[in-house]
Amino acid sequence: MVEGLRDGERTVGDLAADLPVSRPAVSQHLGVLKAAGLVLERPQGTRRYYRLDPIGLVRLQGRLDTMWGLDDVGAVVAAPSVEAPVPAPAPPVAPAAGPAGDDRRAGKGGGKKHKKKRGRK
């Protein structure tokens, strides 16, 4: 939906023609994007034209940058990249031994044995 509005204003019918969803579904999605402040609507006669709101997109980018800790992403992008060394893989860990005398994990049947009770049916 956002990609479809990237190049300018479009109607619901125009957007729906390029998407595998119905016109009502496109309208519903545009309503959500409009409520979120990411899309602007311009009525003209019986049609409504939708376009991306650049101010809303900048606000969204700021929120995402803050959420992901990228507040100063411009300084990071401008700085020369230094690749961090790749840590060596950890050695394999042997399975932990059970408590002394507990051979159940070793498959030696050290657990309790149950007797079948015979009774009346």
pLDDT at residue 114, rounded to an integer = 55
The answer to whether residue 101 is domain-embedded is no
* Number of CB atoms found within 10 A of residue 15's CB: 20
The answer to whether residue 33 is domain-embedded is yes
Taking only the tens of pLDDT, the chain with its 121 residues reads: 899 999 999 999 999 999 999 999 999 999 999 999 999 999 999 999 999 999 999 999 999 898 888 776 565 555 565 565 666 666 666 666 555 555 555 555 555 555 566 666 5
pLDDT at residue 69, rounded to an integer = 85
Whole-structure pTM value? 0.55
The answer to whether residue 87 is domain-embedded is no
The answer to whether residue 88 is domain-embedded is no
pLDDT at residue 119, rounded to an integer = 61
The answer to whether residue 38 is domain-embedded is yes
Give the SS3 label for residue 69: coil
Q: What is the CATH number of the domain that holds 35?
A: 1.10.10.10
Distance CA 73, CA 38 (A): 22
Range of the domain at 40: 2-73
15: left (phi over 0), alpha (psi -120 to 50) or beta: alpha
Q: Per-residue DSSP letters for 78-113?
A: HSPP-PPPPPPPPPPPPPPP-STT--TTTTS--S--
The answer to whether residue 99 is domain-embedded is no
Reported as half-sphere exposure (CB side, CA atoms, 13 A), residue 36 has a value of 17
Instruction: Count structural domains, the chain.
Output: 1
The answer to whether residue 65 is domain-embedded is yes
pLDDT at residue 6, rounded to an integer = 93
The answer to whether residue 13 is domain-embedded is yes
pLDDT at residue 83, rounded to an integer = 62
Q: Under 8 Å CB-to-CB from 33, ≥6 apart: which residues?
A: 1, 2, 39
pLDDT at residue 70, rounded to an integer = 75
pLDDT at residue 42, rounded to an integer = 96
